[in-house]
Amino acid sequence: MPLSDKDAVKKASAELLERVEATMDGVDWPSFLNLAVLLTQAKRTFVTGAGRSGLVARMFGMRLMHAGLIAYIPGETITPAAAAGDLLVAISCTGATGYTDYLTTRARDLGAKVVVITSVGDSPLAVTGDEVVLVPTTAEDIVLRAAVFEHATSLCLDAVFNVLSARLKVDAEAFRSRHANLE
């Protein structure tokens, strides 16, 4: 007997959650902790990615701003020039996204440090990074794999934000004062 739509969605959700949890079990947490250190050392942080990885990058950029750090999204009209002392965090599941690869190469040429978050440690993008943070996903289904990568990466970066908030002593009032209010 086929599943009802409600049961099919519930089953798909449970399967996705299982894959995200399995992926997070394989994450190299020390590399995420190192990212937290690099974020506090950088003069400014630029975060980038394309497609859904780009949306994860934007969410992380917003979290960095909430923590009181200076963060920008390359391509936005108010993004300044990158330079030595800056950090670029590039997110790509496959590590083969042309736009993201271009930005990592450009950032390095400008003297910025580059951290690549990917699921493919020997990808072209990973090769251009000064640091590589692996979020291990399987290639069983590329659409599901990407979803697993993005969800797991988002959760990992929120964990980095929580660590940063504690280290920087960001209290609820400071967080609220930085939260968007032109909504």
Q: Between residues 94 and 57, which one has the greater pLDDT?
A: 57
User: Which single residue is written with the structure tokens 């959760």?
Assistant: 155
CB-based contacts of 143, cutoff 8 Å, min separation 6? none
Q: What is the pLDDT of residues 35-54, one digit of tens each?
A: 999 999 999 999 999 999 99
Residue 86: predicted pLDDT: 98
Which pTM does this prediction carry?
A: 0.92
Share of the chain above pLDDT 70, in %: 96
What phi and psi, each to the nearest 5 degrees, are found at residue 85? 95, -10
Q: Which residues are catalytic?
A: 150
Domains and CATH numbers, the chain: 28-178 (3.40.50.10490)
What does the buried/exposed string (b/e) look like for 55-84 if buried means 16 or more CB atoms within 10 Å of the residue's CB? ebbbebbbbbbbbebebbbbeeeeeeebee
